[in-house]
Each structure stands twice: as C-alpha cells, then as structure tokens.
C-alpha cells in the first residue's frame, strides 16, 4: 500500500478506513455495544473522545491523549440536536465527515461511532437528564436547553461505547464540570479527564465555529484571549476584586466594534458560583458574540496552570 494513501472498503455493512490497520466506522447502537462488549471481555481498556465532528487540532490533542491511556480508542462524531435551541445553528453547524475520518486515522483511532439522530433519538424518545445547579450559571443562562441535551447524549454514549475513560476539552469548562457531576451522581464507573485548551498561534481558542468568522471578525475575536491575559496580569499584580477584573475585561472587549458580551464572569471552578474576592484559584469565563458567531473561552486566574 502506498504510504499515506487512504483506502475505503465495505465489509458486512460496516465501512472501514484502512492504512495498515482498519478504523471501524459504526453507525448503529447495537454494533457499537457488541464491539465494546467484546473488547471488555478480552480485558481491553476503552477510551472515548466525544465530538460533534469538524475536527481541529484541539480535538486531535484529546485523541492523542486518549491513545496513551487505553488499548482501544473510540471517537464519536454526532451533532446532537438535543443541545440546540430552535434559533441556534444546528442546521448550519460545520460538518466534514470524511475529512474527520482522515484526521482520526492519522491520530491512531480504532473506531468511529457516527450514528444519525434517529438512531439515538427514536420516535417517542422522552427521557432526558437535567442537573439542578451547575447549568444555572454561564452558558446555561442564555442556552437553557444546552446542558440537558449534553448530559443526555453523553450518558447515552457512555452506555453505548462503554468506555473506561472519557476525555473532554477544557475550553468547554462548564460542560466538563457538568459531565463530572453527572458521572459522580449517577455512579458511572468512568474516569473523566480534561484536555487543555489548544490555541492558534495568535491565541484564539480553536473551535469549529471559528470558520463562521470573516477575516475582520477573526481579528476582533482575539479580544477574548487578550482580555483573559490582561485579567491574569492584573491578578498577578495583586488585584483581588473580581468586579474590577470583569469591568476592565468587558470594557476592552466592547471596544471592538463587532463584539457583544453574553457573559464575563469570575467563578469558583467547582461550583461555578460567582466569586467576589480572588484569594484562591478561580476560573474566568467568557462568552462573546463576534458578529453572529458566539465564542467561548476561559482561563484559570491565580494559578500557575
């Protein structure tokens, strides 16, 4: 086989992507569960990286981390309708399945679970998972259905892929905390790990939605990271009043003509409750619309991390 060339073949209604070793592309719950049951019977450790596809280097960093942690690495690719409100961008959310396959193949993934919506939400579906407190902050305030959808689909993926370890990006910090709480509350026997934010060379946090930005908006989007860096510098210099940090960051962001703030908050990393005085490590979290594109970012303040 020519090095670097991808060959697609079909066997028993399962599509494989091969370059020496096959990647199984699995579309049904039944097939994915059967595969995971077989691996577990043979003592293999399964690692899952859940994604909505349109992969970038941030996702690939999680996949590389997963490759080191287990015997079998699965990636889910599913744009989850349950976490989008009617006015949000479900229909236009960027997709690129075969490019995703090529990227995961290079990163050493063993299996891709890529169901369609009818496979996970059959007609008559009516069971959802809702957390009481963590979603009542940050993104949950402006996206009230979001975390119910996230918790539901992630719990389904855990029951289908049956991983020992699952990895999520820290850019979606609130989502990571919601999943950790859900795993604790519902006694999932799964280790949840976070992967650090991966940034472009100029600091912009990598996101599939960055593709929505025009060249001018792409420059303005840097205000999120720049404001976080300024906040970190202020805390290092001795500022402890969280409201001062938020005011300065907000003023800087709003000095950019296309920026509209959804929230700018300084929170306890565990509870996500607002913090007034910074006397221990806290998370500063931002959600800002640049034009019509909603971007999020965060940074730990008062910590060497």
Q: Is residue 2 part of a domain?
A: no
Cite the active site residues: 59
Dump pLDDT digits (tens) for 54-73.
Answer: 999 999 999 999 999 999 99
Q: For residues 109 and 190, state if they share a domain.
A: yes
Shared-domain flag, residues 110 and 150:
yes
Over residues 29-56, the mean pLDDT reads: 98
- Say what the pLDDT of residue 20 is: 45
pTM higher than 0.85, yes or no? Answer: yes
Residue 251's closest CA among 223, 232, 210? Answer: 223
Same structural domain for residues 38 and 181? yes
Q: In this structure, is residue 287 part of a structural domain? A: yes
For residues 77 and 217, membership in a common domain is answered with no
Check which CATH number belongs to the domain holding 77 and give it: 3.40.50.620
Could you tell me if 33 and 168 lie in one domain?
yes
Structure tokens at 71: 């015997």
Question: What's the Rg (C-alpha) of the chain?
Answer: 20
Both 280 and 165 in one domain: the answer is no
Q: What does the block give as tokens for 235? A: 């805390």
Res. 133: pLDDT tops 90:
yes
Whether residue 242 sits in one domain with residue 157: no
Return the pLDDT at 21: 60
Do 107 and 23 lie in one domain? The reply is: yes
Q: Which pLDDT band holds residue 13 (cuts at 50, 70, 90)? A: very low
**Residue 139 domain flag:** yes
What are the pLDDT digits (tens) for 206-252?
999 999 999 999 999 999 999 999 999 999 999 999 999 999 999 99
Which of 168, 195, 222 represents a domain boundary (last residue)? 195
Buried b (16+ CB within 10 A) or exposed e, 260-283: ebbbbbbbebeebeebeebeeebb
Which residue, chain included where needed, has tokens 């990286």? 49
139, 173, 195 — which closes off a domain?
195
pLDDT, tens only, 152-171:
999 999 999 999 999 999 99
Whether 284 is covered by a domain: the verdict is: yes
Q: What is the pLDDT at residue 191? A: 98
Residue 22, pLDDT score: 76
The verdict on residue 189 lying in a domain is: yes
* Containing structural domain, residue 241: 208-301
Q: In whole angstroms, how far apart are CA 46 and each of 15, 110, 152, 207, 239?
A: 20, 10, 21, 26, 45
The interaxial angle of helices 146-161 and 173-185, nearest 10 deg, is 60
- The reported pLDDT for the residue numbered 304 is 56
Same structural domain for residues 136 and 226? Answer: no
Are residues 258 and 159 part of one domain?
no
Residue 200: inside a domain, yes or no?
A: no
Number of compact structural domains in the chain: 2
* Inside any domain, residue 202: no
What is the per-residue DSSP string for 48-81? Answer: EEEE-SS--HHHHHHHHHHHHH-SEEEEEE---G
């Amino acid at each position: 086989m020519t090095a670097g060339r991808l060959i697609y073949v079909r066997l028993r209604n399962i599509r494989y992507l091969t370059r020496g070793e096959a990647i199984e592309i699995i579309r049904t719950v039944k097939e994915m569960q059967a595969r995971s049951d077989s691996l577990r019977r043979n003592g293999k450790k399964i690692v899952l990286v859940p994604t909505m596809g349109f992969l970038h280097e941030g996702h690939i960093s999680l996949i590389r981390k997963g490759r080191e942690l287990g015997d079998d690495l699965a990636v889910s690719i599913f744009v989850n309708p349950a976490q989008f409100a009617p006015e949000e961008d479900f229909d236009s959310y960027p997709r690129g399945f075969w490019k995703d396959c090529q990227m995961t193949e290079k990163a050493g993934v063993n299996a891709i679970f890529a169901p369609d919506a009818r496979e996970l939400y059959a007609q008559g579906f009516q069971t959802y998972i809702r957390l009481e407190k963590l979603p009542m902050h940050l993104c949950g305030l402006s996206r009230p259905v979001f975390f119910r959808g996230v918790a539901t689909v992630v719990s389904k993926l855990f029951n289908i892929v049956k991983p020992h370890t699952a990895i999520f990006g820290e850019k979606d910090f609130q989502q990571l905390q919601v999943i950790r709480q859900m795993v604790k509350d519902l006694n999932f026997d799964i280790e949840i790990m976070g992967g650090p934010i991966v940034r472009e060379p100029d600091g912009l946090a990598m996101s599939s939605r960055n593709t929505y930005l025009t060249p001018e908006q792409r420059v303005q989007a840097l205000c999120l990271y720049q404001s976080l860096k300024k906040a970190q510098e202020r805390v290092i210099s001795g500022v402890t009043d969280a409201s001062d940090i938020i005011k300065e960051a907000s003023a800087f962001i709003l000095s950019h003509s296309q920026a509209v703030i959804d929230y700018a908050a300084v929170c306890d990393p565990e509870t996500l409750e607002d913090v007034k005085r910074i006397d221990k490590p806290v998370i500063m979290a931002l959600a800002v619309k640049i034009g019509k594109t909603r971007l999020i970012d965060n940074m730990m303040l008062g910590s060497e991390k």
